[in-house]
Amino acid sequence: MEVIIGFIGSLIKISILSSIYALLTLSSFRLITKFKPNSWFDRASTKKIRLWLISSSVFSAGLLCYLFTHWGFHGFGDGPRIPIGHGVVVDNTNWEEYGYMNVAETSDSMKIEMTKFKVVNDKIIGNLESGFYDYKNSFFIYDLDEKVFTEFKTTKDYVEFATKNNLPLINELRTFRENYFDYWGGWRAWFLP
């Protein structure tokens, strides 16, 4: 049910955005005709409703396609997700505190779950905490570009490595919810579905 509500909400947002973008297109065409009379823009802008309908349809189709790309799909309802690069996403279920990735397994052959993480310089740094698994290590770094997964047994081990390599310290890691709203907030919330 949450997925359907999320999808319908996205469709409503797409229709509003495409209407606004179509209105801006119409206004731009009208502005251009003031400086270039008898141009293609002048001929196209004489049929305002037709121009608005066509551009609104194009924007709607483009935004709908974008919604289902790696960078545009934020999850519907109970399945929020954050694209972090190189085709990798951090998923979540029902807005619980745990984020998870399916790109690698830990040294104890378990899925990567975390409560706090940060993405920096094509690397995701996070703690290994789960409601299901009992990890033998405490922190990890996954290099998105080279696809290398490195684990750290203790907090001290990670802090030493992070200090040497100018990586975020433990207090700089953020929850899934904080990372989600940082990524999907701001200009993305206003201009994209």
How do residues 141-154 score in pLDDT, each as one tens digit? Answer: 999 999 999 999 99
How do residues 57-87 score in pLDDT, each as one tens digit? Answer: 999 999 999 999 999 998 887 889 999 989 9
Closest C-alpha to 153, from 172, 132, 127, 120: 127
Q: Residue 187 is encoded by which pair of tokens?
A: 């200009």
Beta bridge partners of 152: 139
Contacts for 86 with CB less than 8 Å, ≥ 6 apart = 122, 144, 145
Q: What is the pLDDT of residue 57?
A: 97
Residue carrying structure tokens 């990670």: 158
The chain-wide mean pLDDT, for the chain, equals 92
Q: What is the mean pLDDT of each run of 10 residues along the chain (193 residues)?
A: 87 97 92 85 83 95 96 87 93 91 90 95 94 90 94 95 94 95 93 93
Contacts for 142 with CB less than 8 Å, ≥ 6 apart = 88, 101, 103, 104, 112, 123, 124, 148, 149, 150
Q: In what order do the strands lie in the sheet with 174-175?
A: 148-152, 139-143, 123-127, 116-120, 174-175
Q: What is the pLDDT of residue 164?
A: 95
- DSSP labels for 151-163? EESSHHHHHHHHH
Contacts for 6 with CB less than 8 Å, ≥ 6 apart = 75, 76, 77
Specify whether the CB–CB gap between 33 and 51 falls below 8 A. Answer: no
The CA dihedral of 124, 170, 133, 71, to the nearest 10 degrees, is: -30
